[in-house]
Amino acid sequence: MEICGVDPLVKDELYKLASVGLCPNLNGQITMGLVANPPKEGEESYPLFVQEKEAILASLKRRALKLVEGLNALEGVTCQTAQGAMYAFPKLTMPKKFTDLATAEGKAADAMYAMRLLEATGIVVVPGSGFGQVDGTWHFRTTFLPAEEDIDKVVASMTAFHQAFMDEFR
| Residue at 108 is within a domain | yes
Tally of domains within the chain = 1
**Cα(75)–Cα(94) distance, integer angstroms:** 10
**Cα(75)–Cα(73) distance, integer angstroms:** 7
Q: Which residues contact 98 (CB under 8 A, 6 or more apart)?
A: 109, 112, 113, 165, 169
Contact predicate 127/119, CB 8 Å: no
Nearest residue to 89 (alpha-carbon basis) of 61, 135, 126, 116: 126
| Residue at 34 is within a domain | no
| Residue at 25 is within a domain | no
What per-residue confidence (pLDDT) applies to 2?
A: 82
What per-residue confidence (pLDDT) applies to 58?
A: 96
What is the extent of the structural domain holding 110?
63-169
Q: Write down the pTM of the prediction.
A: 0.79
| Residue at 131 is within a domain | yes
What letter would DSSP give residue 145?
-
143 - beta bridge partners? 87
What letter would DSSP give residue 140?
E
Assign residue 108 the CATH number of its domain.
3.90.1150.10
| Residue at 136 is within a domain | yes
Contact predicate 119/144, CB 8 Å: no
Report the interhelical angle of 96-104 vs 148-169 (nearest 10°): 90
| Residue at 43 is within a domain | no
What letter would DSSP give residue 131?
G
| Residue at 30 is within a domain | no
Q: What is the pLDDT along the chain (170 residues), one digit of tens a residue?
A: 788 899 999 998 888 888 777 766 788 888 889 889 999 999 999 999 999 999 999 999 999 999 999 999 999 999 999 988 899 999 999 999 999 999 999 999 999 999 999 999 999 999 998 888 888 899 999 999 999 999 999 999 999 999 999 999 99
**Cα(160)–Cα(156) distance, integer angstroms:** 6
The 3 state secondary structure assigned to 72-130 is: HCCCCEECCCCCCCCEECCEECCCHHHHHHHHHCCCCHHHHHHHHHHHHHCCCCEEHHH
| Residue at 110 is within a domain | yes
Three-state DSSP state, 6: coil
